Structure 1
Amino acid sequence: MTLELVRLPSAAPEKPVRLLFVHGICTGAWVWRQSFLPYFASLGYDASALSLRGHGESKGRESVRSLSLGDFANDVEWAVNEIGGPVVVVGHSLGGGVVQNYIRRGGRAAGVVLMCAAPPHGLMRASAELFIRNPALFRELQRVLERGIRNANLDIIEDGLFAEPPSPQLRRLFFERMDDIAETASRQLYGFTSFAPLPWSMPKLMVLGCEKDEFVPPADVRLTAIYYGARSVIVKGGGHAIMMDSNWRDAAEPIASWLDREFGGGI
Structure 2
Amino acid sequence: MSVCVSGSYTLFANRSNLKTVAVLSREKKNKMGVQYDLKQGQSRNFHELPSGLSMEVIVQKGEEKKKNGEHPLPPLVFVHGSYHAAWCWAEHWLPFFSSSGHDCYALSLLGQGESDEPADSVAGTLQTHARDVADFICRNIRSPPVLVGHSFGGLIIQYYTSNLGSDKLKEDLYPKLKGAVLVCSVPPSGNSGVVWRYIFSKPIAAFKVTRSLAAKAFQTSLPLCRETFFSATMEDHVVKRYQELMKESSRMPLFDLRKLNASLPVPSVPNCPLEILVMGAKDDFIVDEEGLKETAKFYGVSPVCVEAIAHDMMLDVSWEKGAKVILSWLNGQEK
Partner of 1:42: 99
The match for 2:150 among 92, 95, 107 is: 92
What is the distance in 1 between the residues matched to 2:125 and 2:103?
28
Q: Provide, for residues 3-34 of structure 1, a one-character-per-residue CA deviation record: whole Å limited to 9, x for no partner.
A: 01111001142242110111111110000111
Which residue number in structure 2 is paired with residue 257 of structure 1?
A: 328
Structure 2-normalised TM-score?
A: 0.71
The match for 2:122 among 65, 73, 79 is 65
Which AA in structure 1 matches 2:79? V
| Closer, same or farther: CA 245–147 of 1 in aligned 2, 3 Å | closer
Q: What residue is the counterpart of 1:127 in the other structure?
A: 195
Q: CA deviation at 1:168?
A: 3.0
CA RMSD of the aligned region, Å?
A: 2.5
Q: Find out whether 1:21 has 2:83 as its counterpart.
A: no
Q: Secondary structure at the match of 1:242?
A: coil
SS at match of 2:54: coil
Alpha-carbon distance in 1 for matches of 2:284, 2:262 = 19
Distance 1:148 1:187, change over 3 A: farther
Deviations 1:178-233 (A, max 9, x none): 21452635445546533244242352110000101111112221221112111211
Count of residue correspondences: 264
Identity of aligned residues (%): 28
Q: Return the alpha-carbon distance in structure 2 between the equivalents of residues 90 and 187 of structure 1.
A: 25
Map residues 144-159 of structure 1 onto 2, 5 A cutoff: 153=221, 155-159=223-227
The CA deviation string for residues 133-185 of structure 1, in whole angstroms up to 9 with x for no partner, is 55455335545676556876553243121122432332222221221452635
Letter in 1 for 2:66: P
Change (3 A) 1:157 1:113: same
More displaced stretch, 200-209 vs 143-152: 143-152
Bigger relative contact order, structure 1 or 2, given CA contacts below 8 A and separation 6+? 1
Contact 1:23–1:50 (8 Å) recurs in 2: yes
CA–CA distance in 2 between the matches of 1:144 and 1:240?
Answer: 14
| 8 A contact 2:57–2:107 mirrored in 1 | yes
User: Partner of 2:107: helix, strand, or coil?
Assistant: strand
Distance (Å, rounded) in 2 between the aligned partners of 1:148 and 1:132: 22
Indicate if the aligned counterparts of 1:122 and 1:190 stay in contact, CA closer than 8 A: yes
Change (3 A) 1:143 1:66: farther
More helix by share: 1
Say which of 81, 104, 107 aligns to 2:162.
104
2:277 alignment partner, one of 193, 198, 206: 206
Alignment equivalent of 1:164, drawn from 226, 232, 243: 232
What CA deviation, in whole Å up to 9, does each residue of 1:16-60 have, x standing for no partner? Answer: 211011111111000011110000001110111111111111111
The aligned counterpart of 1:184 is 255
Gaps of 5+ in 1: none
Aligned AA (1:94): F
Structure 1 position 98, deviation (Å): 0.6
AA partner of residue 293 (structure 2): R
Secondary structure of the structure 2 residue equivalent to 1:184: coil
Residues 140 and 151 (structure 1), Cα distance of their counterparts in 2 relative to 1, 3 Å cut = farther
Q: Deviations over 1:72-93 (max 9, x none)?
A: 1122112212233120000100
| Cα gap change, 1:145 to 1:168, in 2 (>3 Å) | closer
Question: Is there any run of 5+ residues in structure 2 with no aligned partner, and where?
Answer: 1-52, 164-169
1:7 alignment partner in structure 2: 59
Q: 1:149 to 1:104 in 2, by over 3 A?
A: farther
Contact 2:226 2:232 in 1 (8 A): no
Contact 2:123 2:255 in 1 (8 A): yes
Partner Cα separation in structure 2 for residue 164 and residue 196 of structure 1 = 37
Give the letter for the 2:109 counterpart: L
Tell me which residue corresponds to 2:300.
229
> Hey, what's the Cα distance between the residues in 1 that align with 2:202 and 2:220?
15
Moved more, 152-161 or 215-224: 152-161
